[in-house]
Amino acid sequence: MLDQTNDPTLRSWVDAANVADCDFPIQNLPYGSFNVRGTQRRLGVAIGDQVLDLPAAVDAGLLQIGDAAGALRASTLNAFMAEGPASWSVLRLALSHLLSSGNALLRDDDALRARVLHPMESVTLHLPFDIAEYTDFYASRHHAFNVGSMFRGPENALPPNWLHIPIGYNGRASSVVVSGTPVRRPWGQVKGSEDSAPRFAPSARFDIELEIGAIVGVPSDRPLTVGEAFENIFGYVLLNDWSARDIQAWEYQPLGPFQSKATATSLSPWVVTAAALEPFRVDTPAREVPLPPHLRDAGPMLYDIALDVALAPEGGRETVISRTNYREMYYSTAQQLAHHSTCGCPMRVGDLLGSGTISGPEPGSRGSLLELSWGGRDPVEIDGGTRTFIEDGDTLTLRGHAQGDGFRIGFGECCGTLLPVKTPQRDS
């Protein structure tokens, strides 16, 4: 529901927050976990080019938010998310008021600002929440059709169940890392078309998946309606589900991805709340077949979020290799969460749901190198060369924002650099 924190005319006394292409205007106020050199991790809010220290602001009496104040002294968001939607709204409103251009309380107190504001460039960012469980989906029709066409032909591209349920698999929460963490090329069992038997080798077809991650903020232990599921989402991050395509091709039948998806999943460090994205809600696409009643849309539950992927070779300039939009998804996160809960599966605060690769209808809007290069057949042009899959030293960066009138709700960056494979130690 829209409220005064979504007002497009709001301005902050933090000047950088008022620049049109700033990711963190006062309408955004995303949450993260950070530390300044030599100090403990704590929770913060991004505003312009600054980070507001939440526990310091509480201790200074700047935020009157009742019992939820104690949860802001944790190093991750889980305790605060567990306070529930009413507390989420109270804090967002208090922050909006504190940082608004007309509020002199912090604006005009130099000593107080020095205690509670930190330049973004001076902080180290961490995973913003403790990940309870991680589930990844396969919910973009364009992506599913592209991948299916490569392996089964266009006439059999979509599995028989695809238009009826959001397909997903349980991933490894332990392998989720924050943006900026290097990723190492994995080993695995692979079998090429010319191989008589599988072999153990470094992945030669390492890839990314451009996704949005949704964070569960309200626990549940019963089947949820789509509307309830939508209300249970606290916020969203950019998500790169690194994927070893050659390992995946050999292992995925009959039970789906396993080692091919367990190397790493990178998240952007700032959690953009559902409240900040409220003005940008859009409908899911027209259904090719009717969904069963428990999965039918309960209103606009996707978001108009422009997304892109850039690749920079080691020592080279980056090239944007894909541009797409989250509104291209066939299934919304609310439908994914509702489906996840139908068997009675308990959902916890801090559960992470990956949207699945976000691809659009055009070649340049595909969200993975598997699609962009069409399985390696069509090399992608980058600065100083081409790519079919990721090479050692390459840095991949995901970016995204929802565009408002004179401001934008940005996610910051989700980036990672691929390191060379490590040789496994052998028993003597």
Residue 78 half-sphere exposure toward CB, CA atoms < 13 A = 14
Question: Which is the catalytic residue, given 143, 339, 340, 401?
Answer: 143
Q: How far apart are CA 251 and CA 241, in angstroms?
A: 17
Structure tokens at 328: 């291209």
What is the DSSP track for 115-127? Answer: HHEEEGGGEEEE-
Structure tokens at 416: 């990672």
| Known active-site residue 143 | yes
Task: Report the DSSP pairing between strands 176-178 and 385-387.
Answer: unpaired
The sign one gets for the Cα dihedral 139, 141, 147, 149 is positive
30, amino acid identity: P
Q: How far apart are CA 242 and CA 397, in angstroms?
A: 12
The sign one gets for the Cα dihedral 98, 103, 106, 107 is positive
Contact yes or no for 331/139 (Cβ under 8 A): yes
Q: Of 58, 73, 249, nearest to 150 (Cα)?
A: 249
Contact yes or no for 147/154 (Cβ under 8 A): no
Three-class SS state of 22 = coil
Q: How far apart are CA 409 and CA 236, in angstroms?
A: 12
Alpha-helix residue ranges (DSSP H) falling in 240-292: 245-251, 274-277
How many C-beta atoms lie closer than 10 Å to residue 277's C-beta?
A: 20
233, amino acid identity: I
Q: How far apart are CA 254 and CA 309, in angstroms?
A: 31
Contact yes or no for 201/239 (Cβ under 8 A): no
Q: What are the catalytic residues?
A: 143
